[in-house]
């Protein structure tokens, strides 16, 4: 039984570490080449000069340093799910979408093949946090005029403008732009070509990456946003003439507009005000006493 728990803890920790690396460092070029299930536990998993680290040492370290925290998080998730179902509580998906959109713009570039998995993890984390808050404040009553005043003050925090995430390559002439485009058509990587060809010094070191922009952004050339109209996510444009030269644009992602009105946010605002008034940081472990929980720590 203990072995099973160790495997569960290991999987959760590895997942959390991967998410952390993505959030801190953006796109990561290398991947694990050997799946965990193919590790030969009889051989070293790492060597430093003549010093060897074995699988059992690694597992012991993970359990000692992260095991209790990881298992507590798993129990928290089960407690939240049970209590939310018992009290018929649910989070408006648009509220989660809003937080994910803001988070995406803060984190920046994610690898195309990691976006779906990373955002699914964000969604679960956000939903659990909001459900925990809802459980703590489910019985608190706040006058509607106070809710309305809060909404009027912080309304902009619940409005997300349409954004596009872009990279570009700028070259001096049409001939070079056509050559770059043909290399892309031949399977070359956009980032690598940006390192090689772009004349934009500000974005070259990031492989042409620019970030997220709204139509109204003063930092984005005027015709860039219009170019994205007929582009699919994770695709590049044909060369076009821009302000600084000939441009090939890459559309990583497109985040739609999200507008939440007072009625959609009323209960969420009530919970936020209630928690502020309670003056505590909600901890789902306060609800553990409602369940028969037996764990190894």
Give per-residue pLDDT as tens, 110-122. Answer: 999 999 999 999 9
Going by pLDDT thresholds of 50, 70 and 90, the confidence category of residue 6 is very low
Crossing angle (nearest 10°) for helices 68-86 and 115-136: 60
Cα 85 off chain centre by: 26
- Tell which residue, 210, 190, 212, has the closest CA to residue 200: 210
Q: Does domain 162-255 have CATH number 3.40.50.1820?
A: no
Check residue 53 and give its pLDDT.
Answer: 87
Give per-residue pLDDT as tens, 253-262. Answer: 999 999 999 9
Going by pLDDT thresholds of 50, 70 and 90, the confidence category of residue 125 is very high
- Tell which residue, 101, 103, 110, 100, has the closest CA to residue 26: 110
DSSP string of the chain? -HHHHHHHHHHHHHHHHHHHHHHHHSS-----SS-GGG--TTSEEEEETTEEEEHHHHHHHHIIIIIHHHHHHHHHHHHHHHHHHHTT----HHHHHHHHHHHHHHH----GGGHHHHHHHHHHHHHHHHHHHHHHTTT----HHHHHHHHHHHGGGGEE--EEEEEEEEESSHHHHHHHHHHHHTT--HHHHHHHH---HHHHTTTTEEEEE-TT-TTS-HHHHHHGGGPPTTEEPPPEE-SSSEEEEEEEEEE--EE--HHHHHHHHHHHHHHHHHTS---GGGGGGGS------
Going by pLDDT thresholds of 50, 70 and 90, the confidence category of residue 37 is low
- Every domain of the chain and the residues it spans: 2-21+39-157+262-290, 162-255
Residue 89 · residue 138 · CB < 8 Å: yes
Give per-residue pLDDT as tens, 60-96. Answer: 888 888 888 989 999 999 999 999 999 999 999 999 9
Task: Specify the higher pLDDT residue, 5 or 153.
Answer: 153
Q: What is the overall mean pLDDT for the chain?
A: 87
Give per-residue pLDDT as tens, 129-177. Answer: 999 999 999 889 999 999 999 999 999 999 999 999 999 999 999 999 9
Check residue 297 and give its pLDDT.
Answer: 79
pTM comes to 0.76
């Amino acid at each position: 039984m203990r072995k099973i728990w160790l495997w569960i803890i290991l999987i959760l920790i590895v997942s959390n570490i991967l998410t952390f690396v993505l959030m801190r460092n953006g796109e990561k070029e290398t991947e694990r080449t050997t799946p965990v299930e193919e590790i030969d536990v009889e051989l070293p998993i790492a060597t430093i000069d003549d010093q060897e680290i074995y699988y059992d040492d690694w597992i012991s370290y993970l359990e000692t340093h992260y095991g209790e925290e990881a298992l507590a998080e798993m129990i928290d998730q089960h407690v939240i799910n049970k209590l939310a179902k018992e009290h018929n509580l649910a989070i408006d998906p648009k509220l989660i979408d809003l937080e994910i959109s803001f988070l995406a713009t803060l984190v920046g570039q994610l690898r195309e093949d990691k976006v779906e998995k990373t955002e699914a993890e964000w969604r679960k984390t956000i939903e659990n946090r909001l459900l925990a808050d809802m459980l703590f404040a489910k019985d608190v009553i706040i006058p509607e005029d106070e809710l309305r005043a809060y909404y009027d003050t912080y309304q902009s925090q619940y409005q997300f403008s349409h954004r596009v995430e872009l990279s570009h390559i700028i070259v001096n002439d049409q001939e070079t732009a056509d050559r770059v485009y043909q290399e892309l058509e031949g399977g070359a990587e956009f980032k690598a070509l940006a390192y090689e060809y772009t004349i934009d010094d500000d974005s070259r070191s990031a492989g042409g990456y620019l970030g997220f922009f709204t139509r109204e952004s003063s930092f984005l050339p005027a015709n860039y946003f219009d170019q994205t109209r007929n582009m699919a996510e994770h695709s590049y444009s044909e060369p076009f003439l821009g302000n600084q030269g000939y441009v090939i644009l890459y559309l990583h992602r497109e985040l739609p507009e999200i507008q939440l009105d007072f009625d959609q946010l009323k209960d969420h605002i009530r919970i936020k005000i209630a928690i502020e008034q309670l003056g505590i940081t909600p901890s789902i472990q306060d609800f553990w006493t409602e369940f028969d929980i037996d764990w190894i720590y």
